[in-house]
Every structure is written in structure tokens, then in C-alpha cells.
């Protein structure tokens, strides 16, 4: 039984850490002009809020999925912007 409690505590700590990391990365986002990027960033924020909701409800599996999806959306915007910037220099 203790092993299951340890796993749950570790998973909860991981989700909380990922939420904090997302919020840190989200705060570094500069204004975006592209409407698609703005929509993607808003979706990422919404998934983070969903992660917090599911964490509060004790659904760690769903919370973990939501926060990782949120990270992926932010990464997609960042990578697209970097790629677009590289293409303009060439």
C-alpha cells in the first residue's frame, strides 16, 4: 500500500512541477501577431488550467496529459517562429 502512495505522491509532484514550468515558460512569451499562434497559445493556457482542475480532483493521469499537451502547444509556436525566422535570414 505504501508503494502506491509513494507513486501517487511522486506523480502529483511531477504534475505540479510541470505546471510551474509551463507557467514560467508562458510568462516569457512575447506578443504574437499571427492569429494562429495567438489561438494556439490560448489553447495551451486552457490546457494548463485543465491540468490544475484535474490535479485538484485527484485525476493525476488526466492532469499529466493536459499539462504535457500544453507544453507541446507552446513548443510548436516557439519552433514555428524559430523556423520562420531562419527562413527569412537565408
pLDDT tens per residue across span 5-23: 899 999 999 999 999 999 9
Q: For residue range 16-59, list pLDDT tens digits in order.
A: 999 999 999 999 887 788 899 999 999 999 999 999 999 999 99
> Contact at 8 Å (CB) between 60 and 15?
yes
pLDDT at 26: 93
Q: Considering the entire predicted model, what is its pTM?
A: 0.85
Is 58 or 86 the better-scoring residue by pLDDT? 58
The x, y and z cell numbers of residue 88, run together, are 527569412
Whose CA is closest to 15, among 57, 44, 69, 51?
Answer: 51
Specify the pLDDT at position 90. Answer: 47
pLDDT at position 87 over 60: no
Residue 70 has pLDDT above 80, yes or no: yes
Question: DSSP string covering the chain, please?
Answer: -HHHHHHHHHHHHHHHHHHHHHHHHHHTPPP---HHHHHHHHHHHHHHHHHHHHHHHT-HHHHHHHHHHHHHHHHHHHHHHHHHHHHHH-
pLDDT value for 80: 86
Sign of CA dihedral 72, 74, 79, 84: positive
Amino acid at each position: 500500500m505504501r508503494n502506491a502512495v509513494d507513486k501517487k505522491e511522486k506523480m502529483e509532484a511531477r504534475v505540479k512541477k510541470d505546471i510551474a514550468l509551463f507557467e514560467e515558460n508562458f510568462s516569457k512569451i512575447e506578443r504574437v501577431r499571427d492569429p494562429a499562434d495567438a489561438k494556439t497559445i490560448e489553447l495551451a493556457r486552457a490546457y494548463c488550467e485543465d491540468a490544475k482542475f484535474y490535479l485538484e480532483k485527484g485525476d493525476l493521469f488526466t492532469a499529466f496529459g493536459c499539462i504535457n499537451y500544453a507544453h507541446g502547444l507552446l513548443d510548436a509556436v516557439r519552433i514555428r517562429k524559430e523556423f520562420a525566422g531562419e527562413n527569412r535570414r537565408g
